Amino acid sequence: MKAVKTAWFCNSCGAESPKWSGRCPACGEWNTMVEEKIRPEKKSRTLGPSSCSRISSPVPVSEIASDEEPRIKMPSSELNRVLGGGLVPGSIILIGGEPGIGKSTLVLQNILSIKSRTILYVSGEESAKQIKMRADRIGRPSENVFIVCETSLQNIEEHISNIQPGLVIIDSIQTIASDDLESVAGSVSQVRECASRLLKYAKESSVPIMLIGHITKDGNLAGPKVLEHIVDAVLHFEGDGQHIYRLLRAIKNRFGSTSELGIYEMCQRGLREVKNPSEMLLSTHTDGEDLSGISIGVTMEGIRSFLIEVQALVSTAAYGTPQRSVNGFDSKRMNMLLAVLEKRAGFKLAAKDVFLNIAGGLKVNDPALDLAVICSVLSSNIDIPIPHTTCITGEVGLSGEIRPVGRIEQRIREAEKLGMDTILIPRGNLKGIDTSSFSIRIIEIAKVEEALRTLFA
């Protein structure tokens, strides 16, 4: 019997080393080497039509057929948007996110609505009864979805051979292990081996595979970095467990843009698509009274524009040190904007508490929201409301200038569609754009002082 050998693997890049080192010799990361047992791999059969028996030959690029295969449309239009139009046959997709964020729910409610193909759902974390309970809660029974609870890669391959599915779901890749390796499931070598075998099957059989992955406490996908290189697309499902909104982003996509964004709302019966996020992120005051400290900003997430409510509260500091509290916005950027407001506009806020909140629990990184933040803070400070039919967009520089922002025409169209009658934009941002088709009043400003005079006279 051969002795079991060990090797050291990097958690970051998957590089193998015969001995431990504090720094990975391949990627340079520190304290990422872990020890795993290894042994010579056994020869295992491959699924689908094998191409190992023939040698491929180089083909001129001009002779390669460019016929685009039809994509597999998923029931969720938001998921199709992020994927670039649907699932590509033979592709392998990785979906990651926080525990309990709704990854399995998103995948399950989509596959339960597909009636045109046989689907194999492999679960390594839940029992079949637990999945059935979730399917009953979603309320979409299906006869063509087969559930199997399995963690052995060899047994999964056997199930795939017997069922011949048109779509395979693996929940999750960190729970699958190959019998050819001695290491435990979720280790660097196991994740790399299982993902490579599944990728080979997907490419040879043109059957798409969706992998659900764990993430670490740092927010990165668990396992070696090579896992993200192996798959065709990496989708990140994010959101705050205390709020109902979920965002689906594409971190990597070989078949579409990584600028798309899908928005969902968590309900009792699963995830509901948010077609128009602007209408849900704006509060409606039934009494028609405008409140101070609230402004409407026009922001972009990917290539989608929507209106969002920026709330600010400024009050006299009750204690010696004033507080700065921020939700959904960069706290360092808010401190910079407060310094600009004090230096360029002359408002003293050093002895006052400032609280800032982005409505809906979203986290916004768009610099075009700078001007809306400044206007909300000043509105609360002087207790003068901003009209709820006025929206604001613009990036603020350190000298107090309002810098142009991208996709300004798309932002104006979104504000116009939501019934806004006035929008403040940076001066010079409309160069080369025909404004005759806009019915909304457009006010161009160049300095922070101009915006304050326009809103508060």
The strand pair at 324-327 and 261-267 is best described as unpaired
Which residues lie closer than 8 Å to 338 by C-beta, 6 or more apart?
324, 349, 354, 377
Residues in the chain: 457
What strands, in cross-sheet order, belong to the sheet with 390-392? Answer: 324-327, 352-358, 304-316, 294-301, 390-392, 422-426, 441-445
Contact by Cβ (8 Å): 379, 386 = yes
Angle of CA points 162, 166, 169, to nearest 5°: 85
* Interatomic CA distance for residues 339 and 354, integer angstroms: 12
How far from the centroid of its chain's Cα atoms is residue 327's Cα?
19
Please report, in range form, the residues annotated as the binding site for ATP: 97-104
Closest C-alpha among 120, 162, 170 to residue 145: 120
Helices 128-138 and 103-111, interaxial angle, to 10°? 70
| Helix, strand and coil in the chain, % to nearest 5 | 25, 25, 45
**Amino acid in position 184:** V
Please report, in range form, the residues annotated as the binding site: 97-104
* Interatomic CA distance for residues 286 and 405, integer angstroms: 33
**Termini Cα distance of the chain:** 88
Contact by Cβ (8 Å): 115, 256 = no
